Amino acid sequence: MFKSYRKLFITLSLVVSTTTSLAIATDAISSRTYENGKKVIDGGVTYPVVHGKTASYFINEKAHMIGYSIGRKPTKNEITAWDIDVMPDGTGLPKGSGTAEEGDEIYEAKCASCHADFGAGGAGYPALAKGNAYEGFKTLKNQRTDSSIDSPSRVFGSYWPQASTLWWYIKTGMPHPSPLSLKDDEVYALVAYTLMINEMKIDGVEVDEEYELDEKKFLKIKMPNEDGFEPNIDGKQGVENVRAYFNDFSNYGNGTRCMKNCFDGKPIIARIQGVGISNYDPPLSTEKSMPVAKTETTDVKGKKEYETVCAACHGTDAMGAPILGDKKAWATVTQKGMDKVYQNAINGINGMPARGASTYSDEKIKEIVDYMVNQVK
Ligand code: HEC
Ligand code: HEC
């Protein structure tokens, strides 16, 4: 089903490219070169002018073979050029290998400028790791509609159901400015590196610097969240699962079913005027009140500064810093008493630079520390 759907997509897309080429179409099918000397894409076809009609819709008899009367079947070469994704079962995965250490080097050179050290992300670039992928995994139930329910960090390790997506995403999309520039071995190395910073295991073996990933080991990766998605649409039960899921209204919306008198209060009516229609019956209301804009009142003290300066290290355990929200880590920290903790944050301790290398005042630092400590209360 997926494959044939894609075929349709390719067919339709090609219609667009072939129609644009028609203005300069020659009179030979399968010509590989336009009159202006430009080459068509590999396997491309240009169409002759027949009865003064230049559109492929009228003259492409081959198209009837596939039933749409438009476009044509893509050539084998075209399909090969497009069909570069990697599927969970290993379809499309090339042979190759690379170690996490090699990946680290390539990462520093080609990825860290955007995704930050150790895949921490930030400044609009997605994080590639949030520490231990297994710990980051929580339930996905209701996570689309209810933000108050714990859901996994939406990063590769704890969220993505299949590692194959990572392989082809890096291969075909990254580095952002020059996609498809990486060799297969480099992609293996980068995937190994990504697994390492997510603290993942393959077949029970922790992926460390020396770990060499190849196509065989790759297929043994089991993503922590593979079975976390609801409803499970795969397999024979798939349709039934979807039905059962959506029949249970507690799975979506606000969790309560309502058919009648669901809203109490007065509706706020907004009317638009000036569109040239008059003489309404009943006449237009003159009321023009719009819903009152909500203003952000939850301006939590220290949060903004935390995100600007401290999150770089405290948002990931790659730096050895106690992670925001990690109860165990913060229990150890606060054991010493808050005065000592403030002092350590202000004066620095081990890998923790004084004031997190910021110029914030003592008061500000205490405020941020309070914010951090409050996240585990
Ligand atoms: C110039 C900036 C830039 C560079 C360099 C870069 N990326 Fe990205 N990367 C992005 C952006 C932007 C996105 C988000 C794209 C989107 O969502 O459409 C992204 C997304 C990703 C994702 C998907 C993350 C997710 O959870 O959705 C992965 C994986 C990734 N990049 C890996 C890499 C790797 C590996 C390299 C180095 C070979 C790299 N990137 C280099 C900008 C960059
Ligand atoms: C360059 C990375 C880095 C930055 C930036 C950073 N921290 Fe830290 N922080 C650490 C590390 C590493 C530790 C663990 C130090 C140790 O105990 O060995 C730490 C520990 C702490 C602790 C616990 C101290 C204790 O008594 O155990 C507090 C509190 C803290 N940081 C607050 C902050 C605040 C507030 C900021 C931002 C203003 C900040 N950090 C920015 C790396 C960082």
pLDDT per position as a tens digit, 1-35: 334 434 433 343 343 333 333 333 333 344 345 44
CA distance 229 to 283: 51
Nearest C-alpha neighbor of 42 from the set 78, 82, 13, 79: 78
Q: Closest ligand 2 atom to the C-alpha of 312? A: 5
Ligand nearest to the CA of 307: 2
Stretch among 12-21, 36-45, 344-353 having the lowest mean pLDDT: 12-21
Stretch among 40-54, 130-144, 221-235, 335-349 having the lowest mean pLDDT: 40-54
Rounded to 5 degrees, φ, ψ at 99 are -95, 160
Choosing from 117, 314, 334, 368 the residue with most ligand 2 atoms within 8 A of its CB, the one to mutate for a pocket test is 314
Distance 175 CA to ligand 1 centre (A): 6
Over its C-alpha atoms, the chain yields an Rg (Å, rounded) of: 29
Asked if 220 and 201 touch (Cβ cutoff 8 Å), the reply is no
Nearest C-alpha neighbor of 318 from the set 99, 132, 124: 132
Planar angle of CA 360, 328, 298, nearest 5 degrees: 50
Nearest C-alpha neighbor of 156 from the set 188, 186, 197, 117: 197
Nearest C-alpha neighbor of 89 from the set 252, 254, 215: 215
pLDDT digits (tens, 9 = 90+) for 112-121: 999 999 999 9
Q: pLDDT-based confidence at 306, cuts 50/70/90?
A: very high
Q: Pocket around ligand 2: residues whose beta carbon is below 6 Å from it?
A: 309-310, 312-314, 319-322, 333, 336, 341, 344-345, 349-353, 355-358, 365, 368-369
Ligand nearest to the CA of 348: 2
CA distance 171 to 114: 17
> Does 354 score more than 60 pLDDT?
yes
Planar angle of CA 139, 144, 147, nearest 5 degrees: 80
Asked if 99 and 27 touch (Cβ cutoff 8 Å), the reply is no
Asked if 151 and 176 touch (Cβ cutoff 8 Å), the reply is no
Q: Closest ligand 1 atom to the C-alpha of 190? A: 35
Q: pLDDT-based confidence at 40, cuts 50/70/90?
A: very low
